[in-house]
Amino acid sequence: MNLVGEREKLLSAFQMVSPVVPSRTTHPILQNIKLEADGDHGYLLASDSDISIRVKVDGLQVEEAGSVVLPTSRFGRILRESSDEQLKLKTEEKTTLIKGSRSEFRLPGEDPQEFPTIAPFAETRYHEIPAKNFREMIRRTVFATETESSRFALGGVLIELEEEKVTMVGTDGRRMAVVEGNAQAVGGHRTPEGGNSIIPSRAMSILERLLGDEEGAIQLAIRGNEVVVQTERATFFSNLLEGRFPRWQAVFPKQSEADCADLVVGPFFSAVRQAAIVIGEESHAVYFQFENGSLTLSAEPSQYGESKVELPVAYEGESLSIKLNPVFLTEFLRVLEPDRSLQAELRDPDKAVVFATEDNYRYVVMPYSN
């Protein structure tokens, strides 16, 4: 292989694939990335066996097609530390020469044939989803998943695909985030009958970063036990999680049974953070006292002190005090715009609170219990 590439574009592609590279693995070759070049096209590839990614590299002048496997850490440092606009990469027996105008590096390489094959997107049945919307849907659900549990199904985001709609659900058993968005089925693509469609949280987080500021549409397909996603520059593969996901529709009570409080995200977020300042290790809860026209947030006295924060709200229901984990609320409010309107559906101190926005986003939180 022999090519000249623009360093900034190589670095951009590297930053997209490097989060997939495992820090530990029983297959040492996976701690490298692969560069493929053919014609005027180049691709960087990375895999950890469960997640794989293939990213297009722009701005290459390929003099001799081929492929090379490079050590991730050192190749990344060269791309970041070099001040050259262009870098020349040339394979020489078992080493790769990386040369700038005033610098030169030789890196040992592995056999490219031993690196896993990561094929281009070739699905004929898939869903098209606006990239910007899909990224926002990930942000609004992935934070609510379980990251330290043996209940594998809760360690990912459930995705349900219909003719013109996509629904995503994240839960850890104590709170649940559900968001709906527009989508378009191509070739009759649907969520598999009786099969799992739970994408691991780590895969979702990588996808969120991968999408960046893309404005076009992605293509997403569920096939067998994996999901395949095509973005403007990348093809992304991830295994799906095993296990039974909760019947999430049954979690949401009827709205007609609730008293509703109208809130604004920014002031509510600020009040929750203030009330939580004095929370001690023995308690992780804040009391939310709803009265006619007001909400008072307070934390029980601890060695760190006590707090009381008042907030005017549009509420005309019965007086209600409910104990909630402020972390669950701050993580939820952080993914919303400060000026967004929010409605809280309240029932009694022992029942879940449902928060809802006007753009089909719902978040249910169970009351705090010691």
Tokens of 358: 């006007």
- What pLDDT was estimated at residue 214? 87
Which stretches in the chain have pLDDT values below 70? 149-151, 194-195, 255, 281-283, 370
pLDDT in tens, 204-263: 999 999 998 888 999 999 998 999 999 999 999 999 998 889 899 888 877 677 899 999
Nearest-CA neighbor of 352 among 248, 246, 249, 252? 252
Whole-number percent of the chain with pLDDT over 70: 97
Which domains are assigned to the chain?
2-114 (3.10.150.10), 126-248 (3.10.150.10), 252-365 (3.10.150.10)
**pLDDT at 234 (0 to 100):** 96
> What's the pLDDT at 38?
87
- Which pair of structure tokens corresponds to residue 106? 């030789």
By CB atoms closer than 10 A (0-12, 13-18, 19+), residue 366 is: middle
- pLDDT value of residue 69: 96
| Cα–Cα distance for residue pair 94/96, rounded to 1 Å | 7
| pLDDT at residue number 3 | 95
- In this prediction, residue 138 carries a pLDDT of 98
Q: How much is the pLDDT for 251?
A: 85
Q: Is the Cβ–Cβ distance between 307 and 275 less than 8 Å?
A: yes
Residue pair 229/236 in contact by the 8 Å Cβ criterion:
yes
pLDDT of residue 370: 64
How many residues are there in the chain?
370
- What pLDDT is attached to residue 87? 96
